[in-house]
């Protein structure tokens, strides 16, 4: 995740707009998504079908 955020930074600077980075995949519990969102700086998360059965 940090590599992706660093990779889009030049485009943000060049065009003067924020590029949202969405965290997705490899997370089973909500705590993992919270880590992506808060610690790594993701703009959002994509949640898969694993969570559909819990609703």
pLDDT for the residue 26: 65
pLDDT for 2-54, tens place per residue?
888 899 999 999 999 999 888 776 666 656 566 656 677 778 777 766 656 55
The two three-digit tokens of residue 30, written as one number: 């909500």
pLDDT for the residue 54: 56
Helices (H), 1-55: 2-15, 30-38
Domain boundaries, the chain: 2-49
pLDDT for 35-47, tens place per residue?
656 677 778 777 7
pLDDT for the residue 16: 95
């Amino acid at each position: 995740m940090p590599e992706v955020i660093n990779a889009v930074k030049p485009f943000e600077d060049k065009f003067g707009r924020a590029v949202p980075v969405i965290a997705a995949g490899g997370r089973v519990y909500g705590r993992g998504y919270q880590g992506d969102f808060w610690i790594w700086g993701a703009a959002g998360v994509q949640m898969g079908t694993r969570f559909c059965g819990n609703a």
